[in-house]
């Protein structure tokens, strides 16, 4: 496959999160920690305001890889470190950008490395997806 | 945090039946546009019995086991100071609607680092036949009292 070269960018996508996005994720995931929908509670624990669930950021960041993969294979491994919070402004929301690159071509799998940024800083560390082609 | 948690294996959590509409709801919530997760006909055309869960859906199944860990009477984990440090999912096969999944938690590591405690909890998730589907591993950071 011509796009399978180490370093090749296979997908790039921008996601806009609003407070509604967080409420929807809270309901779908069952994570109702109020720091994800109440500024007063977020501030009471020392945060500037409401932040996105780390698992929401992790969940959306892999979607460009899923779209790229389509029915050609499956994700076998996906791991991230949560390094910085994504603050979601009540008016403007938050814009998260994902760039997915081929990181390594291994025997059984291909590793895709994700760079996930918000406000010009990466928010996930060592975000790596292993895919296996069928 | 109680260092004796290291190596502890918990009772399996109650089985979780993966529903089609739950998968679709979760997929929309992580901004998925994948027909495999949203459209049963597309999933079936690709050889799956029903819609395919997004890779991070396993966290929903894992959640019951993390609740066990946080509720452990001698665990000493203060939930209000817990921050999610790392997360990983290692799949044998994707989760598909209709799966009945059972998760079993093991605490694989407890560390202290710079005044914080770190606990790594591994939830092994198997299907109704007992076959491995995914292992979900969380590293939780319990911030020290400043």
ipTM of the complex as predicted: 0.96
Mutate which of A11, A73, A82 to test chain B, going by most B C-beta atoms within 10 A?
Answer: A82
Q: Could you tell me if residue B36 is inside a domain?
A: no
Structural domain boundaries of chain A?
Answer: 9-17+53-133
Give the Å distances, CA to CA, from B64 to B69, B70, B77.
9, 10, 16
Rounded to an integer, the average pLDDT of B87-115 is 96
Domain range for B133 is: 3-19+55-142
Decide if A77 and B90 are in contact by the 8 Å CB cutoff: yes
pLDDT in tens, B17-66: 999 999 999 999 999 999 999 999 999 999 999 999 999 999 999 999 99
Please report the pLDDT score of residue B114 as a whole number: 86
* Residue B50 placed within a domain: no
The structural domain count of chain B equals 1
pLDDT at A54: 97
Class of domain A9-17+53-133: alpha beta
Which residue of A62, A66, A79 is in closest CB contact with B88? A79
Q: How far away is chain A from the Cα of B17, in angstroms, using its nearest Cα? A: 15
| Interface check A118 vs B, CB under 8 A | no
**Angle at alpha carbon of residue A54, lines to A50 and A55, rounded to 5°:** 125
pLDDT at B115: 87
pLDDT number for residue A45: 86
Whether B55 and chain A come into contact, CB under 8 Å, resolves to yes
What is the band of A3 on the pLDDT scale with cuts at 50, 70, 90?
Answer: low
CB of A33 less than 8 A from some CB of B:
no
């Amino acid at each position: 496959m011509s796009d399978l070269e180490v370093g090749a960018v296979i997908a790039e996508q921008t996601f806009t999160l609003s407070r509604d996005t967080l409420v929807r994720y809270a309901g779908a995931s069952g994570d109702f920690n109020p720091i994800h929908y109440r500024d007063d509670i977020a501030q009471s624990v020392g945060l500037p305001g409401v932040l996105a669930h780390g698992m929401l950021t992790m969940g959306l960041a892999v979607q460009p890889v899923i779209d790229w993969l389509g029915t050609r294979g499956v994700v076998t491994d996906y791991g991230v470190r949560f390094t910085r919070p994504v603050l979601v402004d009540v008016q403007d929301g938050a814009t998260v950008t994902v760039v997915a690159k081929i990181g390594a071509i291994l025997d059984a799998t291909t590793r895709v490395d994700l760079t996930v940024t918000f406000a010009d800083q990466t928010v996930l560390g060592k975000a790596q997806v292993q895919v296996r082609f069928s | 945090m109680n260092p004796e948690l290291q190596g502890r294996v918990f009772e399996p959590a109650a089985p979780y039946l993966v529903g089609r509409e739950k998968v679709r709801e979760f997929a929309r919530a992580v901004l998925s546009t994948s027909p495999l997760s949203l459209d049963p006909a597309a999933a079936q055309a690709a050889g799956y019995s029903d819609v395919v869960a997004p890779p991070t859906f396993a966290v929903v199944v894992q959640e019951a086991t993390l609740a066990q860990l946080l509720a452990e009477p001698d665990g000493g984990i203060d939930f209000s100071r817990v921050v999610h440090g790392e997360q990983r999912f290692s799949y044998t096969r994707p989760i598909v609607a209709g799966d009945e999944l059972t998760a079993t938690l093991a605490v694989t590591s407890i560390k202290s680092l710079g005044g914080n405690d770190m606990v790594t909890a591994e939830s092994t998730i198997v299907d109704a036949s007992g076959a491995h589907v995914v292992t979900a591993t969380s590293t939780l950071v319990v911030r020290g009292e400043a």
